[in-house]
Structure 1
Amino acid sequence: MPARPILTAATAVLCLAVHRPEAWGDVLISEVMYNVQGADVEAGVFNKEWIELFNSGDQVVDLGDWSIGDLQDGDFASRFPDRTLLYPNEAMVVTGDAATFDAMWGSGIKRIEVQNFPALANSPSATNETLAIRNAAGVIVDSVNLQQSGGWPRIDGSDGHAISLLPQGLSVAGNDVGANWSPSIMGVYGGWFSDVGDLGENHGSPGFVATEQQSPFAPSPDADWSMVVLPDTQNYVKSTQYRNTLTQMTQWAVDNREAFKIQLVLQEGDIVNNNNTNNPTSGDQVSSQQWANAKASMGVLDGQLPYILAAGNHDYGTTDAQNRLTELNNYFAASDNPLNDPAQGGIMAGQKDPGRLENAYYDFVAPDGRKMLVLSLEWEPRPETVAWANQIAADPQYADHTAVLLTHAYAYGSERRYSGSRVEADADGEELWQDLVSQHGNFELVFNGHFGGDGAGYVGSRGAGGSVHQMFFNTQFQTNAGGGWLRLVEFLEDGRTVRVRTYSPYYDLYRTDHANAFDLAVSLNLAGDFNRDSVVDAADYAIWREAVNTGSLAADANGDLLVDQADYEIWRLNFGRRAAGSTPAAAPEPSTLVLAFTTLTVLGRRRATPPRPGRPIHYARRSAA
């Protein structure tokens, strides 16, 4: 973000002296928070809503004695203070309560407080909301007729969202077009969220205005293959209005399977909102309709991509796991999709209970030769389920696989595993870690949904075989039933890097914050084959020796972000092994290894940090008032 130029008082006066009256026309409304989480009003003051203004021109504009209000009812706030300067390419927030705004969004954002801030409709329409900026002479400089139809973004859901002007709409004409606006979203064009405790979050980007559009979402050029992760889908299928969003997500996976080299789709549970009732707790679809909607949307993948479902709490009981009965198996079966069906050569390897999908495991070889084992476990797995999963993970035939746990509830967005299952004997996230995941050297990835917060979280822990990356992802509480957000998990050509990105075909936008776009290090396909020539040999030992000296990840065989003796042991045990699967030959014990161990002892354990993908977005300046 470019630094704000330092202007002396004399320079500012000079700028004001030469700016043209038509420069007023460069000031426009760029973001509106009209539907906050919780009450809009406290003690008679509309203290949580706010409006952002942006100077799209190249001159300083003095907003002294200007005002903002609603043309529909003539409700204008008090005039702005004298010499309220808005610099070129700068944003400023107008609020009815600066202290409350600062408490919610932080200090340092340029903002002014006005009296009699206009009451903003939570459901704006063509007849009830036309926001306007009026200059000191009473001339309307910009106006926006906010709506929730005709191409305008809709704001609903549990969280609060501002709406912000997209880069292509940064003009007084452009902000009249609904398609040029979008809900303000965490990680998109400077968006972040303000936590309001048990109420949820408010999403916005006050003080930030994106001035350049995102480039089209495209596969990483060095990706070998990828898989798609779908978060909780319950809010899509419970509603006639949003049921097609899930179809849009699965259709995107099918349409882009070749470009993105997609091999698999994972769904994190809460397939429906109500498992078995004719009185839905929300939405307009009864349970049978919800399951039928889910089946239709996921059925887009049949014969196109294999997919794995997890059963969430809302997939049991009547509405929320009142018991262990589920309609899942009445609507979905392995035989539906030949790419899943073992009888047709599909990837399903077995089920805990024959004919039931709640607890199942899947085995396949990815295009890069990586052997994958995916275990899908029920909501808060029962003791017998955990015991069964341990048997599968410990099976010698899966010792050289990358094991993945897919389950509905495991980790929070607050970088910790959850504890406190509803039934004491059943496993919560921490117990799944202690009693299952940490016990097996092949577990490297965990995916779950269920929880709220900002919709993304990560827990990194060292298991029996190295790093285990545990990822929470769920956007159901955000506007538009979740906004169609999905995760793309790419396995890169270097054989050890996994790139995680977050994209919405509904908005055609992607998130760039570190919670939603990051790289991970996993074990190499052929352990010890550091140069990826399909054989573990002396050349790989040389790479390990050099990595110890540099801190590089090039010889991190177990994916724990350390280059140390453990990686040498992996190389030694696999010396002579080839990608075709030949038996490892006995490793030599060259005397030169003594020198390497001495070097290792001196240097100690060097931690390397994997690179994060950089996707710079250009923003206008943010400055303090």
Structure 2
Amino acid sequence: MRYVFLLAALALAACGKKSGDAGPGPVTPPDNFETELNTPGTTATTAPGDFTIVVIPDTQYYLGQPQLGGTPAMFTSQINWIKNNQVAENIAYVAHLGDITEHGDNPTYAATEWKLARDAIYGLENPVSIPYGLAVGNHDQFPSGHPLTSSTNYYNRYFGVKHYEGRPYYGGSYGGNNDSHYDLFSAGGMDFIVIYIEFDDQLENAGAMNNWAYDLLGVFASRKAIIVSHSIMGNNPVAGSNSTRGNFSTQGSSIYERLKTRTNIVMMINGHHGDNGEGYRADTFEGHTIHTFLSDYQSRPNGGGGMMRLYKFSVANKQIQVKTFSSFTGVAETDGDSDFPVTFN
């Protein structure tokens, strides 16, 4: 069942935000501010066996008003690396962790930043369409951090529901926009659901969004689940060691506590926490373990310098190998919290 009409109706009733809602001092949408469509190429295929999920952390410092030496070319290098290595790495899916841009709908910067983001990310759609999804971070909201009253007009202009409808991997959305949504894909003989939950560290609408995700996990109980939200786990307090657990953020704790009884969750991934922006924790509830990974390199030199993550699934070994490297420089990080294996159920 591709669309869950009952769940969608319940979610729409529970969520007060629509894509054009006005928050305090929001940008006025320009004329013809509708979802931009882009006809994707042929959907990429994956070979049987081991496969890779690519994760792009916060790209905000690459766009518009580059900070700490970041440039749009670093974002483009990430997309180009994915396209050029889709077959070699058997890439099945790409997830962006949010804070796509720095200033959201701020009228001074929005048009420039979001067009640069569009130009980069649409590269995943042609000539071959690689399944992907984008989280909404606090810097993609305007004003920042308010899922019920902030606007996300530009996000929904370029990455709204209508942009993805009809694509084989797109599942549906929560409420009247695409800020929270889910995708479906299969690889390595396994079926997956990827659920994106909008940034909400003040828990303005977290309960309703978590209930939506909980229900989806029940409907798609046969699929292994990946939860993506901009802020789930904070910084690992000990650099260079993946053995020390990071701490759940306020929203991350609410997500985990609501969803921990759903035994199909394999992993949760997030960005947002850029100072010492790597961390890992494993939480076991009634015999089921959920693995949570933080990756965010925006505080590194050059605003992250094209750093990104690979999660390489070894099907036979039931193992995820984490790899971290820069597509821009080609340099890999091999320390303990950048390159390590994790066993999954």
Task: Find the counterpart in structure 2 of residue 371 from structure 1.
Answer: 191
Letter in 2 for 1:407: S
* 1:393 positional shift: 0.9
* 1:441 positional shift: 0.5
Task: Find the counterpart in structure 2 of residue 312 from structure 1.
Answer: 137
* 1:493 positional shift: 4.0
Task: Find the counterpart in structure 2 of residue 433 from structure 1.
Answer: 256
Whether contact under 8 Å (1:315, 1:321) holds in the other structure is no
2:85 aligned with 1:256: yes
SS of structure 1 residue aligned to 2:324: strand
2:309 aligned with 1:484: no
Task: Find the counterpart in structure 1 of residue 166 from structure 2.
Answer: 343
Q: Deviations over 1:327-384 (max 9, x none)?
A: 2101213554xxxx4524x211121125x22111112221x21111110010025221
- 1:497-512 alignment runs, 5 A limit: 497-512=319-334
* 1:324 positional shift: 2.7
Task: Find the counterpart in structure 2 of residue 300 from structure 1.
Answer: 123
* 1:263 positional shift: 1.1
Task: Find the counterpart in structure 2 of residue 225 from structure 1.
Answer: 51
**CA–CA distance in 1 between the matches of 2:93 and 2:121?**
12
Whether contact under 8 Å (1:235, 1:272) holds in the other structure is yes
Task: Find the counterpart in structure 1 of residue 25 from structure 2.
Answer: none
* 1:260 positional shift: 0.5
Q: Deviations over 1:399-457 (max 9, x none)?
A: 2221110000010122233344xxxxxxx111111112x12111110000001222210
Q: Which of 269, 273, 295 is the aligned partner of 1:447?
A: 269
- TM norm structure 1: 0.43
The structure with more radius of gyration: 1
Whether contact under 8 Å (1:314, 1:321) holds in the other structure is no
Letter in 2 for 1:370: M
**CA–CA distance in 2 between the matches of 1:419 and 1:449?**
11
Task: Find the counterpart in structure 1 of residue 73 from structure 2.
Answer: 244
**CA–CA distance in 2 between the matches of 1:488 and 1:462?**
24
**CA–CA distance in 2 between the matches of 1:256 and 1:334?**
28
For the aligned residue pairs, the C-alpha RMSD in angstroms reads: 2.0
SS of structure 1 residue aligned to 2:166: helix
Letter in 2 for 1:382: A
**CA–CA distance in 2 between the matches of 1:335 and 1:504?**
32
| Count of aligned residue pairs for this structure pair | 279
- TM norm structure 2: 0.76
Whether contact under 8 Å (1:441, 1:465) holds in the other structure is no
* 1:465 positional shift: 5.5
Percent identity between matched residues is 25
* 1:232 positional shift: 0.5
Q: Deviations over 1:206-252 (max 9, x none)?
A: xxxxxxxxxxxxxxxx9711010000111111336601211110111
Letter in 2 for 1:394: G
* 1:507 positional shift: 1.1
**CA–CA distance in 2 between the matches of 1:296 and 1:259?**
24
Task: Find the counterpart in structure 2 of residue 215 from structure 1.
Answer: none
Q: Deviations over 1:509-561 (max 9, x none)?
A: 101011010111112xxxxxxxxxxxxxxxxxxxxxxxxxxxxxxxxxxxxxx
Q: Deviations over 1:269-297 (max 9, x none)?
A: 11111012244xxxxxx111111111111
SS of structure 2 residue aligned to 1:439: coil
Task: Find the counterpart in structure 1 of residue 24 from structure 2.
Answer: none
SS of structure 2 residue aligned to 1:394: helix
Task: Find the counterpart in structure 2 of residue 391 from structure 1.
Answer: 215
Letter in 2 for 1:455: G
Whether contact under 8 Å (2:199, 2:229) holds in the other structure is yes
Q: Which of 106, 120, 123 is the aligned partner of 1:277?
A: 106
- 1:9-408 alignment runs, 5 A limit: 224-239=50-65, 242-279=71-108, 286-303=109-126, 304-318=129-143, 321=146, 323-327=149-153, 328-336=155-163, 341-344=164-167, 346-354=168-176, 356-366=177-187, 368-380=188-200, 382-395=206-219, 398-408=220-230
Task: Find the counterpart in structure 2 of residue 154 from structure 1.
Answer: none
* 1:308 positional shift: 0.6
**CA–CA distance in 2 between the matches of 1:445 and 1:520?**
10
Unaligned runs of 5+ in 2: 1-47, 237-244
**CA–CA distance in 1 between the matches of 2:301 and 2:120?**
20
Distance of aligned partners of 1:320 and 1:432 in 2 relative to their CA distance in 1, 3 Å threshold: closer
The higher-RCO structure (CA 8 Å, 6+ apart) is 2
**CA–CA distance in 2 between the matches of 1:312 and 1:448?**
10
Whether contact under 8 Å (2:231, 2:249) holds in the other structure is no
